[in-house]
Structure 1
Amino acid sequence: MPRHPITLSLRRLLIGGLLMLGAWANAAPPAGLEQLARDWLQPAIDQAMAQDGGMPLRAEVVMGNLDSRLRLAPCQAIEPYLPPGTKLWGRSRIGLRCTDGVARWNVYVPVTIKAFGPAWVLKAPVAAGETLTQDQAELTEVDWASHPSPVLATPERWVGQTTAYALSPGQTLRENMVRAQTAFEAGSPVKVVSGGSGFAVSVMGQAISEGRVGESARVRLPSGKVVNGVVRPDQTVELAM
């Protein structure tokens, strides 16, 4: 799955060495740390949501709470950071560590980032293997970050696809729910086409792998050579020149 823009923006801030310095001469109470984490996070989210060419998403940040009984040693410099292996999309956490104090400490603030935007939601149940049509879903606002699989934001990405499993009303259409239509099975005779400026050639071959529309498939030519091409809706395989 591709990285989300929120994660990429935060990593740019981290590489730039963003360091929150404040007047933390006294022990930092949990509420203050939570606010520090929020203040560090908000500019990165604003930057990600303002990126040109992206879908119009509206961010909502839900900060978790540290133990109210927590008391930490005085610290002159507290650094917020994104823990390795985590991403800020859905449920995550922000690390806060003391880099200049009598005692070094490290705590984590839980955070949930919701990203609301337009998406296609099913209006009725759909059986596994059924071909989707546009009238089966309606456009509404959903939380894109509620599931790790990317949202299929435009009809071109799901209309004509088949469902990977049975779906229920109210489900948002995502990449893991659909598969391209099967054009032919492995072992089937397949026409292989290729062409360029002013010419076109075609030859019959035998499919080595299953062919799904828009995806790559392997075909053995009469010469014995195996080629890869893109499966077209007319059940042909097109080779790139």
Structure 2
Amino acid sequence: MPNLLRRAVFCALSSFVCLASAQQDAAPVKKAIDAWLKVQTRGLPGQVSWEIGGLDAGNQLAPCKQFDIGRPPGARTWGRTHLIVRCLDAGWRIYVPVHVRVKGDYLIAAKPIAQGQTISAEDLATQSGDLSELPPNILTDSALAIGKTASASIPAGRPLRADLLKTPLVIRQGQTVRIVSQGPGFAVSNEGRALTNAREGEIAQVRLVNGQVVSGTARADGSVEVGY
């Protein structure tokens, strides 16, 4: 084989070996994800731990020194999900699976709760488990349940979710309510009859003595606030 051809083959093989050996080490990727998760999971209830998936040992990613970590739109920080890892040096982007566990206490029904029943402390109990395996609207604080009413029957032992409870009515159709009209530099109070039911923060319609119908925001004390 002529020397020139020999050199060309050697150079080609050397280039192939260099390209084949240009891989992204998994350790710095996991380190960047670990640091990101430590920040993102602050404030989560309970004890937090996680597992980070590995990279393909035969990946052909150019080695990277600077990473940007993020999550897909709408994805939770906990549970089984994927994180987006971008290399700011080489421009590549990959998805890395992670499993974030949150062990803590959550509320369950201590006994059967009937639809429409007002929740008291005696109706509640706590249970420990992985919150990431439960619905995202699971309740962990009894203050968010006590005083609310059940929107459906809840069997004993069932985890309490926010969508199973609703705030009690503060205004009932037909009752006499106080209307407070407020605006820049004035406040007027009068009475009327409620045309609709309403919970705190909801819009209530009220018919005044003169027949006029007004709409306002229902307050915890049973009044209706009309702003101008």
TM-score by length of 2: 0.67
| Largest Rg, 1 or 2 | 2
The verdict on how the C-alpha distance between 1:205 and 1:70 changes in structure 2, with shifts beyond 3 A counting, is: farther
The verdict on how the C-alpha distance between 1:61 and 1:141 changes in structure 2, with shifts beyond 3 A counting, is: same
- The one-letter code matched in structure 1 to 2:67 is E
**Pairwise CA distance, 1:232:** 4.1
Match of 1:229 among 201, 205, 217: 217
**Pairwise CA distance, 1:108:** 0.8
State the partner residue of 2:141. Answer: 153
- The one-letter code matched in structure 1 to 2:36 is L
**Pairwise CA distance, 1:237:** 2.2
Unaligned runs of 5+ in 1: 1-24, 50-54
Unaligned runs of 5+ in 2: 1-20, 183-187
Q: For 1:36, what is the secondary structure of its paired residue?
A: helix
Give the whole-Å Cα distance in 2 for the aligned partners of 1:215 and 1:189.
18
Partner deviation per Cα, 1:72-114 (whole Å, 9 max, x = no partner): 233233524214413413333211233334xx53211122323
Aligned residues between the structures? 199
1:189 paired with 2:175, answer yes
**Pairwise CA distance, 1:193:** 5.0
Give the whole-Å Cα distance in 1 for the aligned partners of 2:116 and 2:208.
31
**Pairwise CA distance, 1:226:** 0.6
CA RMSD of aligned residues (A): 3.5
**Pairwise CA distance, 1:210:** 2.0
The verdict on how the C-alpha distance between 1:240 and 1:151 changes in structure 2, with shifts beyond 3 A counting, is: farther
Q: Among all aligned residue pairs of Structure 1 and Structure 2, give the percentage whose two residues are the same amino acid.
A: 18
1:99 paired with 2:88, answer yes
Partner deviation per Cα, 1:170-202 (whole Å, 9 max, x = no partner): 33323212012235554x233225599xxx955
1:40 paired with 2:24, answer no
Give the whole-Å Cα distance in 2 for the aligned partners of 1:168 and 1:32.
47
- Contact 1:64–1:110 (8 Å) recurs in 2: yes
Give the whole-Å Cα distance in 2 for the aligned partners of 1:34 and 1:170.
42
